[in-house]
């Protein structure tokens, strides 16, 4: 009687689940892993709970939150690709080094020693910690950090790989030449087993390094203080969460230690059990492929499928089942609608004309007049402030030089498209002033979006309200936002997208900061997924960023519990570089890029505001 190879079965299931998690991570999680829910009130079963993070597991945050308010489940799911990616790449590097050395030194044969193997792992952890704790690695962006970590961990441990391959390889003598050579073909099954085993070992090393405080990539949240101090990890990855173990235990936030360990244990077991299962097959069948695996391989073989079709009368059931599976797979992996179809196309010439006009206006007041007049021209675009498009603002502000109070005046400008459903309206926000790079391009973009979305709405009524908000950029400390909050369709139920620095010649990607998207509502994360999907359709690179204090308006929205995000053509580093440069050269604006980015926001708004079907209710 053949014994069931449970190690292989369980291990394979775990690996498949991990692969599924990496492929469909955005669909599995319900909250953005970068979302910072500071001082957020949770509504659970009609009870209002004031959140002081970290929050223990609850119906909303199933695995709890970390001290920054990030959803732990989202951090772990999103971190699967990063953690396993490093383990995978470093293992390939380690195997490559071991195999090359094995081929160079052909006449040496070592005995596999478990003590040596264990000592090698300990040495890898110690040396890895010494190297990876250097400041250089703490300043790397995520992609570079993944490569650097993989190279360091890949170089370490090659002697362990070499020893294992030597001890498990078959040798034969070439009688004609009288030389002893290794049969590489015989080594392939052992290399595969070792590959799986070493991934498991690398995950263990990453787990220990996490306990020792090693995190992957630059910590962009280092400016945020919590009662725990500075939280060391910005990027979601399993080991980084364990970097707060000491504080978590002291403050009894055990879920921050237990859940990452569980993920590590599951991952380690998955690869080690699969390696063990394949070793069992070699021992009992002389091959890593058992009879059962051969049957499965035969079932999914395209060649066998063709043969079954040729003998259809004998294999009707097999052909039908396989055909259904093939159709389902094609439907599953088939791409969505083409980006050039299904979306209302914006008019790039109108946007560029706006930008050209704005660039010639000398004062902020004249810019405000231009924006208001253009909004008034748009058919069925309604004013936000009672019957007015403009909100007059006047307040007393202390002069930093004289210390005296002085009167400051400003204007917010806003209009909206009324949709069938006013729940969670989309608010497209920018500010206006005398900086062409910062807000001139985004003002032109928002005006064109107002025109195009209104035209689309006239053809087919939107299912959700859209607001176009122009904040007075000269008002400091977010005064413009303070004054506009509570106005029609601009409140705690809104979801805003804040635009700045669009269409710049030297910026070939967009930066998105989702830290201000509150994770209390699943709809908010669906908005982020919508943005990422539209970016993929138009092949626009989007880089995750933390703008920190780059935009005062965003911080005020966040402080007042209004959820949303910022999209910018530059990141924080580029912003600092631009501070002392002339920002009014229209020749540094790329017309095609600006048009492409406006179309991108148009597609986002269209998907958001025209997704719901009235007869099905509020589904988005």
- For residue 403, pLDDT beyond 80: no
- For residue 253, pLDDT beyond 80: yes
Round to whole Å and give the CA distance between 609 and 349.
24
93 and 69 housed in the same domain: yes
- For residue 337, pLDDT beyond 50: no
Give phi and psi for 498, each to the nearest 5.
Answer: -95, 125
354 and 328 housed in the same domain: no
- For residue 10, pLDDT beyond 50: yes
pLDDT of residue 336: 44
pLDDT of residue 162: 75
273 and 398 housed in the same domain: no
H-run or E-run covering 566: strand 563-568
> Tens digits of per-residue pLDDT, 219-233?
999 989 888 889 999
- For residue 306, pLDDT beyond 80: no
313 and 433 housed in the same domain: no
- For residue 588, pLDDT beyond 50: yes
Residue 432 included in any domain: yes
Q: Where are the extended beta strands (E) located within 375-534?
A: 382-383, 390-398, 405-417, 421-432, 464-472, 495-500, 510-513
By residue range, what is the domain housing residue 321? Answer: 303-333
pLDDT of residue 242: 95
Q: Where are the extended beta strands (E) located within 361-404?
A: 382-383, 390-398
322 and 370 housed in the same domain: no
Residue where the block lists tokens 């048009």: 595
Residue 6 included in any domain: no
Reduce the DSSP state of residue 545 to 3 states and report it: coil
Residue 3 included in any domain: no
pLDDT of residue 347: 94
- For residue 215, pLDDT beyond 90: yes
70 and 156 housed in the same domain: yes
Residue 187 included in any domain: yes
Average pLDDT over residues 588-596: 91
308 and 452 housed in the same domain: no
Residue 294 included in any domain: no
38 touches 558 (CB < 8 A): yes
pLDDT of residue 429: 95
- For residue 437, pLDDT beyond 90: no
pLDDT tier at 197, thresholds 50, 70, 90: very high
259 and 327 housed in the same domain: no
143: Cα separation from own chain's centroid: 12
Residue 595 included in any domain: yes
Average pLDDT over residues 56-79: 91
Reduce the DSSP state of residue 472 to 3 states and report it: strand
123 and 151 housed in the same domain: yes
Domain containing residue 432: CATH number: 3.40.630.10
pLDDT of residue 183: 56
Count how many domains the chain has. 3
318 and 372 housed in the same domain: no
**Quick one: what percent of the chain has pLDDT higher than 70?**
85
pLDDT tier at 110, thresholds 50, 70, 90: low
Residue 197 included in any domain: yes
> Tens digits of per-residue pLDDT, 518-529?
876 677 888 898
pLDDT tier at 303, thresholds 50, 70, 90: confident
Q: Would you give the DSSP letter of residue 79?
A: H
Average pLDDT over residues 258-264: 97
Burial 264-293 (b: 16+ CB within 10 A, else e): beebbbbbbbbbbbbbbbbeeeeebebeeb
Residue 107 included in any domain: yes
pTM of the predicted structure, to 2 decimals: 0.84
The three-state DSSP-derived secondary structure of 215-256 is: CCCCCCCCCCCECCECCCCCCCCHHHHHCCHHHHHHCCCCHH
Of the ranges 76-85, 313-322, 457-466, 484-493, which is most confident? 76-85
Round to whole Å and give the CA distance between 469 and 261.
46
pLDDT tier at 617, thresholds 50, 70, 90: very low
Round to whole Å and give the CA distance between 203 and 20.
18
pLDDT of residue 177: 53
Q: Picking from 296-310, 479-493, 526-540, which range would have the lowest pLDDT averaged per residue?
A: 296-310
Average pLDDT over residues 389-408: 79
- For residue 181, pLDDT beyond 60: no
514 and 409 housed in the same domain: yes
* Number of continuous H segments (helices) and E segments (strands) in the chain: 22, 13
pLDDT of residue 180: 46
Helix ranges, 302-342 (H)? 302-310, 316-333
326 and 217 housed in the same domain: no
């Amino acid at each position: 009687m053949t014994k069931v190879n449970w190690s292989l079965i369980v291990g394979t299931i775990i690996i498949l689940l991990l692969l599924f998690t990496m492929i469909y991570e955005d669909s599995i999680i319900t909250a953005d892993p970068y979302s910072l829910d500071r001082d957020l009130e949770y509504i659970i079963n009609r009870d209002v709970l004031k959140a002081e993070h970290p929050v223990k597991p609850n119906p909303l945050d199933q695995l709890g939150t970390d001290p920054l308010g990030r959803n732990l489940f989202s951090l772990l799911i999103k971190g699967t690709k990063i953690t396993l990616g490093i383990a995978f790449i470093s293992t390939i590097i380690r195997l490559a080094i071991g195999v090359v050395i094995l081929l160079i030194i052909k006449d040496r044969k070592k005995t596999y020693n478990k003590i040596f193997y264990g000592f090698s792992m300990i040495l890898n952890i110690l040396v890895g910690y010494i190297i990876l704790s250097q400041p250089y690695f703490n300043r790397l962006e995520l992609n570079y950090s993944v490569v650097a970590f993989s190279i360091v961990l890949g170089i370490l441990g090659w002697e362990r790989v070499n020893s294992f391959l030597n001890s498990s390889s078959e040798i034969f003598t070439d009688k004609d030449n009288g030389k002893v050579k290794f049969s590489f073909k015989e080594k392939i099954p052992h290399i595969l087993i070792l590959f799986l085993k070493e991934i498991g070992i690398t995950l263990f090393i990453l787990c220990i390094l996490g306990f020792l405080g090693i995190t992957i990539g630059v910590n962009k949240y280092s400016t945020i203080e919590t009662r725990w101090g500075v939280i060391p990890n910005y990027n979601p990855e399993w080991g980084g969460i364990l970097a707060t173990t000491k504080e978590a235990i002291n403050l009894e936030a055990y879920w921050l230690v237990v859940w990452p360990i569980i993920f590590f244990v599951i991952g380690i077991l998955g690869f080690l059990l699969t390696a063990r299962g394949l070793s069992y097959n070699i021992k009992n069948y002389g091959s890593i492929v058992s009879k059962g695996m051969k049957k499965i391989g035969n079932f999914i073989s395209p060649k066998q499928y063709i043969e079954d079709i040729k003998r259809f009368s004998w294999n009707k059931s097999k052909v039908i089942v396989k055909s259904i599976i093939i159709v389902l797979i094609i439907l599953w992996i088939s791409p969505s609608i083409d980006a050039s179809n299904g979306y209302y196309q914006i008019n790039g010439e109108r946007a560029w004309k706006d930008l050209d006009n704005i660039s010639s206006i000398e004062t902020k007041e004249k810019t405000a007049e231009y924006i208001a007049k253009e909004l008034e021209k748009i058919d069925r675009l309604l004013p936000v402030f009672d019957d007015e498009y403009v909100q007059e603002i006047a307040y007393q502000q202390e002069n930093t030089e004289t210390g005296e109070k002085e009167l400051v005046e400003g204007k917010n400008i806003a209009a909206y498209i009324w949709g069938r459903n006013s729940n969670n309206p989309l608010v497209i926000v920018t500010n206006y002033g005398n900086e062409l790079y910062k807000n001139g391009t985004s003002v032109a973009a928002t005006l064109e979006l107002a025109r195009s979305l209104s035209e689309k709405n006239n053809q087919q009524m939107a299912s959700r309200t859209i607001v176009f908000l122009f904040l007075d950029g000269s008002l400091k400390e977010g005064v413009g936002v303070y004054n506009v909050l509570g106005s029609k369709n601009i409140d705690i139920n809104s979801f805003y997208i804040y635009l700045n620095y669009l269409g710049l010649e030297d910026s070939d990607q967009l930066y998105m900061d989702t830290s201000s998207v509150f994770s209390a509502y699943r709809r908010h994360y669906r908005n982020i997924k919508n943005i990422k999907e539209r970016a993929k359709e138009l092949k626009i690179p989007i880089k995750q960023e933390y703008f920190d204090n780059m935009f005062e308006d965003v911080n005020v929205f966040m402080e007042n519990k209004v959820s949303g995000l910022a999209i910018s053509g530059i990141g924080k580093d580029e912003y600092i570089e631009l501070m002392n440069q002339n920002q009014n050269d229209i020749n540094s604006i790329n017309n095609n890029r600006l048009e492409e980015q406006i179309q991108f926001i148009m597609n986002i708004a269209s998907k958001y505001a025209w997704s719901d079907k009235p007869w099905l209710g509020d589904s988005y």
